[in-house]
Chains A and B, each alone.
Chain A
């Protein structure tokens, strides 16, 4: 199976409270770039779908990672190559000239050329929290979608996978879908649990370590030689106009400082007589 994984770098999500507003722009200066966590999960998922879990050095199929952004995003792509992806594509464009819709339309052109069986993306990029690119690209391609995947099992014969059974994490439970390939799947947090992903190569009962795999030093060196090509956004999308226009930003009002209560009795009294919520 051939899988395309769109992958974004974001300003360090664990320090998102350090963003600043300057004029009409949001500034993330001083924050380190990190891969969007959901995209790291998508890469891990793609690797698990294209291997026998007991022999992870041998790739059964191909994993292609693609990122939209300036030259620096190549570091994020190389990191994905080091964990096992085969090839990378960088679409040269700056973040202010992008919105989810343009990313999806340009991805469509890449998909038409690369012809993957599956587009596997994160459910959301944790900077803008838009949660839209997977769904948009599914519609633009006319493919079925399975968003918020908490587990995936591939069906069919090795090398001839035909469908995926996906458990989607939704409000109030789980929705189970079967999508016939080619399809678009977006992944949720629990996809990197030990038994969440099962390929046709992996034995029943096999368990992965929890979380994503780390690259060995050797693999990091080898990744420098893996193919990474650059594309121009203008050649992928005829129309590069954005559909969303950001006018300005503001920081939210801080919550006013609270109090520490000395014991349960004081808590109960305050909730009743001061906050009046009990």
Chain B
């Protein structure tokens, strides 16, 4: 019987949608018998906790702690709740928040850690995890040898959970004493990118651009993205050159995405880029080089100059 604790990710007093991927994981991992609970830690935790009471959790723990901005403050609380609540698996979504905190929780608990998993199955009472290695060119199945386990789950492979009805009870819990290290880290602030667009992890359509777009990155891609209510993504080369901000980077070392429709525009299709978007349902590539590797994964390839093709595409879509 697995008893899972999900650590919710908070942003401006709300539970981030990424958290719903951990709920999907918990439902799958607990399918053979088990329960899951969710812990919400931060300022305004009680209100945020109410957002996740409809997903079938045994309980939702609300820890009011406005100082919980760094993992040196959050991890001790999670670890204390794991011990007092008799949980055996801690799950977070492998966002930058999750990747930062999960190993710290694992080390604190002496638990094994399975990072960035893409699947789980119950093998006679033991959880077996699936995870991509070598930029998604192979998948490993692995097991943790410890009784206590920590996992981070891929948002692109665990579809966001839908509410299942019912109302999980919300319980208030106390923050634990922070790590001594907390006194040596000061949170100076989050510079959040201001965007009306959907998040890369949640968008149905993503319009991504590469180095080819140069200074015209936004000028060319925004009209298409606006029309399709798409998130905008970018290759590393486009981010490094400053054509697009770093948080838009899709790939092995950026965001891993799997939308219904992915446009790769002026992107060559390096291994590291493919690792972040190969799971998309339909891939469209626009590139003037017919030999570009991106065409090997594209469902629809258009060999063309993007500066002509994309405005034309916008025009035709507008025309209906």
Contacts and interface: CB of A to CB of B under 8 A. Distances in A.
Nearest to A264: B312
Interface string B132-173: 111111111111111000000000000000000000000000
A13 B143 CA distance: 25
B302 interface: yes
Interface string B238-270: 011000001101001101000011000000001
A271 B107 CA distance: 48
A17 B278 CA distance: 13
Contact of B144 (A131, A143, A174, A244): A244
Interface in A198-254: 241-252
Given A132-B115, A142-B180, A127 B96 contact: no
Contacts of A135: 71, 99-104, 107
Contacts of A132: 102-103, 106, 113, 115
Contacts of A128: 133
B221 interface: no
A61 interface: no
Contacts of B188: 165, 176-178
A255 interface: yes
A75 interface: no
Contact of A193 (B71, B236, B240, B278): B240
A150 B246 contact: yes
Given A19-B138, A144-B182, A247-B128, A261 B300 contact: yes
Nearest to A247: B141
A131 B104 CA distance: 11
Interface string A115-133: 0000000011011111111
Contacts of A127: 133-134
B302 A263 contact: yes
Size bin of chain B's contact surface? 35 or more
Interface string B186-204: 1111111100000111000
B297 interface: yes
B83 interface: no
Nearest to A167: B191
Contacts of A172: 11, 192-193, 199, 247
Is chain B's binding surface mostly helix, strand, loop or mixed? Answer: mixed
B307 interface: no
Interface string A69-107: 000000000000000000000000000000011001000
B313 interface: yes
A116 B112 CA distance: 27
A160 to B, nearest CB: 16
The interface centre, meaning the residue of B101, B140, B281, B313 with most chain A CB atoms within 10 A of its CB, is B140
A16 interface: yes
The interface centre, meaning the residue of A127, A133, A147 with most chain B CB atoms within 10 A of its CB, is A147
B179 A129 contact: no
Contacts of B184: 143-144, 179-180, 183
Contacts of A140: 107
B282 interface: yes
B302 A171 contact: no
A101 B112 contact: yes
A241 B144 CA distance: 12
B68 interface: no
A29 to B, nearest CB: 13
Contacts of B18: 171
B190 A275 contact: no
Contact of A258 (B104, B139, B295): B295
B112 to A, nearest CB: 3
Contacts of B236: 189
B284 interface: yes
Interface string B215-232: 000000000000010000
B128 to A, nearest CB: 7
Contacts of B301: 258-261
Contacts of A252: 132, 136-139, 278
B299 A123 contact: no
A275 B262 CA distance: 12
Contact of B185 (A17, A28, A178): A178
Contact of B135 (A13, A241, A259): A13
A13 B253 CA distance: 12
A63 interface: no
A2 B68 CA distance: 30
A183 B186 CA distance: 12
7 contacts: A129-B116, A131-B99, A168-B96, A179-B184, A193-B240, A260-B295, A260-B303
Given A133-B103, A147-B99, A252-B136, 4 more contacts: A131-B103, A145-B72, A171-B255, A249-B138
